[in-house]
Structure formats: structure tokens, C-alpha cells
Amino acid sequence: MTDPQKTAPQDMAESEVLAGRRAVIIGGASGIGWGAAQRFVRAGARVVIADRDAQGARTRAEQLGRGAEWAEADVAEELTLERLFAKHDTVHSVLNCAGVNIPGRLIDYPLESWRTVLEVSLTGAFLVAKHAGRALADGGTLTSIASLNARQPAAGFGAYCAAKAGLTMLTEVAALELAPRGIRANAISPGLVETPLVTGLTSVPEIQAEFTDNTPLGRNGTVEDIAEVALFLASDASSWMTGEVLDVNGGAHLRRYPDVMAKLSR
């Protein structure tokens, strides 16, 4: 007999895939987080938009309607995460999209920049895992946004590459520790995704052309591409997956990363 709790999403109406579940999306006011928030709502979830941009989070929640909530949360400030999950003490899915990159060559890189990137992109991910791990219902999901740079080095991205590589190992540790409660921890490693944060790269024709040449499928990603994978990892369709880091980059990991710094310096 089919377990109704494990019915595959393709057998459900779209609005039933996450029906009755609360999803907290950190960094949900823009970019990949905002795309995922919209997708989760269409799948029936009650979404909490959490972002350090409180006004942006509030505006997005109002745009979503349908019981969406908002909260101010900065992954670099542990107290804000404590408050977030204390208020929402029954959570079924958490998606952490917070991250920052400050480019620069290692021999010239300021220590303060290194600390900032790791504080947000790695230590912040640890703090999310710590507090989400306490608040998640048994059988819940924790998904983190890593990066192609977790496995593919890029000149000038030393801090970011190190942080995202650390995040992938943190995901595996979280998967081991949370498994006794049935909580699944996974990560998504996007390639170049069209968001306002990468406009500085995609607006330079030479850089854009090199990214395209090094992506076998021949295009940049979209927030919708990543949102669909995030939905899959939050749904019962991935119920036997944990500790995975999914490359969602059009095959870019099969080639090489463009030398962005060299082109920007010209």
C-alpha cells in the first residue's frame, strides 16, 4: 500500500507538494532566495522570508500573501537567528541562501575581507545549521546554497572558494548528526545564475562569453533553475537523500572557471 506521506510530487497537485509545511528561507528577499520563496508558495508551503534587509523581507512577504511571514535575520548575528527560530518553533524546511564574495588576490587580500566572507558564507551557515537543527521538525530538511566555487577554484576568489568548500563539508557533518531525527541536510552548488549580484560580471561581454564557452549547456542559470532543485530537496521526492551536494551549473564543473580578475583589471 502507498504511504500517503511519501506520495511523489508528480502524483500530487502542484499546491500539495509542500502543503501544511512551514519553510524558512534565509536571504529570501532577493535573488535565489526570492525565486525559491515564490516556488515554495506555489507548492503549498507557508513561507517565512528572513533577511537582514527587514524592509525588503516585509515587502516580499506582502507580495507573496497567502499567509507569508517575514523576519529580520542576519547570519552574522547569532541572536537574530535565535529569535527567528524561537518564534517559528515548528519548521519543516530551511533554505539558507546567505553568502557574500569580496574578490581580491591572496597576496593583497585584507584580513578583514577574509573574515567578512567567512563570517557570512561559512560561520553563518554553521549558525543556521545550529539553530535550524534545533527547530526543525523530525523528518524536516535543511538545504544550503553552496557554489560551483566549492569545487572549482577561481583566481581572486580565495575566501569565497574556501568558505563554500567548507560549507559542503559542513553539510555532510550536519547530515550525519541530524539523521537520527530523520532530518535531511543537502546543498546546491549553482554556477553563474542571473541575479542582480552578478550584473557586474554578466555586463562585461568578454566575461559573459567565457562563462558561456565554459558551460556545456551554453547559458547562464536562472533563479527558477535553482528554485526547482530546492523544491525537490524540500519535498518527499528526495526522501532518501542526505549529505548530497548537487551541481546545478549547466555542466560548468566539467571545464574551467574564467579568470574574472584578469578581465576586470583590463
Helices (H), 20-53: 31-42
Catalytic residues: 160
Give the residue among 151, 184, 140, 109 at the shortest CA–CA distance from 253: 151
What is the C-alpha to C-alpha distance for residues 244 and 241, in angstroms, rounded to an integer? 7
CB 79 within 8 A of CB 99: no
C-alpha cell at 102: 569580496
Q: What is the widest separation between alpha-carbon atoms in the chain?
A: 64
What is the C-alpha to C-alpha distance for residues 175 and 183, in angstroms, rounded to an integer? 7
What is the C-alpha to C-alpha distance for residues 11 and 208, in angstroms, rounded to an integer? 39
C-alpha cell at 233: 530537496
Sheet bearing 136-145, strands edge to edge: 69-72, 46-51, 22-26, 91-96, 136-145, 184-190, 245-248
Q: Which residues contact 55 (CB under 8 A, 6 or more apart)?
A: none
